């Protein structure tokens, strides 16, 4: 509270009767000292309650000991879980996490990417949820030290940690096919988004395996939000139900769908089957419990930090990679065979 000056390395050096250099090097283990000297320094540190000034250290070393985390929206349960996983892992390694939400404000992603260039953070874990308009990839390639998670940024030559979207779609397709759904509506992001594209492809593959050319796949594209789920549900009803089952490409969308179906007395799964994606909300308590694909969210976060720290960023080109983490389908009660198949 008072403006007492904090103890600096200089005070420690004086108290221990050595030079500042010695203390610094001892602390950074670049100098072996004989026991007596060591003890003197240790005691000085303890009695003065010395702790290195992080800003000075960062300026001097040119590193921030901080990693940046950019996500679309923290309050979304999916990203909240991702953030939690990254923070936990960073804390284990004594790194601070600087958190940034883009909230779909254009230009924000770019602003945050520039944090790296100016040494604000040592690296960035980056999640977007919309299609790159062409600015992101070059910037990412220029700045480096970025790990892309959850949604691909095409053209970015950096490590990417994604879930196995194709297989997720395929598992849903199989489950729907097993329940005799031949006509399916896919509600997801625009096809330029790799996640949406792959999920849809997996879905399509499974449906075709079962029904061949008789499979009918319709798609609506929009945001991964509750709002868009509502909109999609209304459109689905307005357009006379282009499908006996709906595969929502996120739980949020599924929640929106279900809200509207509830209001309009369309019952799930009797009138229409619904499957979600992510499994981060308490879908098992819904009426009915919602079948969904579980993403290994925490794994994604953890792995992203590992990769960020393990990658040798000196050797550009060496590190463009894509790691696919496995998904699983969690079957609950929102899928039933259609009334008239």
Distance CA 141, CA 157 (A): 6
Output 68 or 222, the one with its CB closest to a copy of itself: 68
Distance CA 87, CA 66 (A): 11
Q: Does position 99 bind DNA by CB under 7 A?
A: no
Q: Does position 105 bind DNA by CB under 7 A?
A: no
Q: How far is the CB of 202 from a copy of itself (least distance, A)?
A: 26
Angle at 309 between CA 305 and CA 311, to 5 degrees: 115
Q: Does position 88 bind a copy of itself by CB under 8 A?
A: yes
- Binders of DNA among residues 35 to 94 (CB under 7 A) are 36-37, 50-53, 56-57, 59-62
Q: How far is the CB of 286 from a copy of itself (least distance, A)?
A: 5
Q: Which residues contact 177 (CB under 8 A, 6 or more apart)?
A: 206, 207, 209, 210, 211
3-state secondary structure of 245: strand
Element (DSSP H or E) covering residue 217: strand 216-221
Q: Does position 288 bind a copy of itself by CB under 8 A?
A: yes
Q: How far is the CB of 53 from a copy of itself (least distance, A)?
A: 6
Q: How far is the CB of 40 from DNA (least distance, A)?
A: 9
Q: How far is the CB of 34 from a copy of itself (least distance, A)?
A: 29
Distance CA 51, CA 7 (A): 8
Output 6 or 135, the one with its CB closest to DNA: 6
Q: Is 188 exposed, middle or buried (0-12, 13-18, 19+ CB in 10 A)?
A: buried
Q: Does position 66 bind a copy of itself by CB under 8 A?
A: yes
Distance CA 17, CA 32 (A): 17
3-state secondary structure of 126: strand
- Binders of DNA among residues 25 to 44 (CB under 7 A) are 25, 27-28, 30-34, 36-37
Q: Does position 270 bind a copy of itself by CB under 8 A?
A: no
Cβ contact 181:338 at 8 Å:
yes
Query: Which of the choices a copy of itself, DNA, none does residue 257 contact, using the CB cut-off of 5 to 8 A by kind?
Result: none
Cβ contact 130:193 at 8 Å:
yes
Which residues are bridge partners to 217 per DSSP? 184
Distance, first Cα to last Cα, the chain: 73
Cβ contact 311:276 at 8 Å:
no
**What mask of x and - would describe binding to a copy of itself in positions 100 to 119, judged by CB under 8 A?**
xx-x----------x--xxx
Q: Does position 24 bind DNA by CB under 7 A?
A: yes
Query: Which of the choices a copy of itself, DNA, none does residue 133 contact, using the CB cut-off of 5 to 8 A by kind?
Result: none
The tokens describing 93, both together, are 């390694």
Q: Contact residues for DNA (CB under 7 A)?
A: 5-6, 8-10, 17-22, 24-25, 27-28, 30-34, 36-37, 50-53, 56-57, 59-62
Q: Contact residues for a copy of itself (CB under 8 A)?
A: 1, 6, 51-56, 58-59, 64, 66, 73-75, 77, 80-81, 83-85, 87-88, 91, 96-101, 103, 114, 117-120, 142-144, 255, 258-259, 262, 281-282, 284-288, 313, 316
């Amino acid at each position: 509270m008072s403006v007492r000056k904090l103890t600096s390395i200089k005070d420690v050096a004086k108290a221990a009767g050595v030079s500042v250099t010695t203390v610094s090097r001892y602390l950074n283990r670049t100098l072996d000292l004989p026991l007596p000297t060591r003890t003197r320094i240790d005691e000085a540190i303890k009695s003065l309650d010395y702790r290195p000034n992080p800003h000075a250290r960062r300026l001097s070393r040119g590193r921030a000991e901080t990693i940046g985390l950019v996500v679309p929206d923290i309050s979304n349960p999916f990203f909240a879980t991702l953030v939690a996983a990254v923070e936990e892992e960073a804390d284990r390694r004594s790194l601070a996490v600087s958190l940034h939400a883009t909230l779909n404000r254009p230009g924000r992603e770019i602003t945050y990417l520039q944090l790296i260039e100016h040494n604000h953070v040592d690296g960035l874990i980056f999640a977007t949820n919309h299609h790159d308009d062409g600015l992101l990839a070059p910037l990412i390639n220029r700045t480096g030290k970025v790990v892309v998670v959850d949604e691909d940024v095409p053209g970015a030559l950096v490590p990417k940690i994604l879930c196995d979207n194709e297989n997720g779609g395929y598992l849903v397709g199989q489950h729907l096919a097993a329940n005799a759904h031949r006509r399916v509506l896919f509600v997801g992001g625009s096809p330029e988004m790799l996640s949406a594209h792959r999920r849809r492809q997996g879905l399509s593959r499974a449906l075709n395996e079962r029904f061949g050319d008789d499979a009918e796949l319709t798609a609506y594209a929009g945001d991964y939000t509750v709002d868009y789920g509502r909109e999609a549900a209304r459109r689905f009803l307005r357009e006379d139900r282009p499908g006996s089952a709906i595969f929502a490409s996120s739980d949020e969308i599924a929640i929106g769908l279900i809200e509207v179906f509830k209001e309009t007395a369309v019952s799930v799964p009797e009138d229409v089957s619904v499957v979600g994606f992510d499994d981060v909300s308490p879908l098992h308590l819904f009426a009915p419990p919602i079948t969904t694909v579980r993403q290994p969210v925490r794994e994604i976060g953890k792995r992203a930090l590992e990769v960020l720290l393990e990658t040798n960023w000196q050797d550009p080109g060496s590190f463009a990679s894509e790691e696919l983490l496995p998904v699983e389908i969690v079957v609950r009660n929102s899928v039933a065979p259609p009334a008239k198949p």
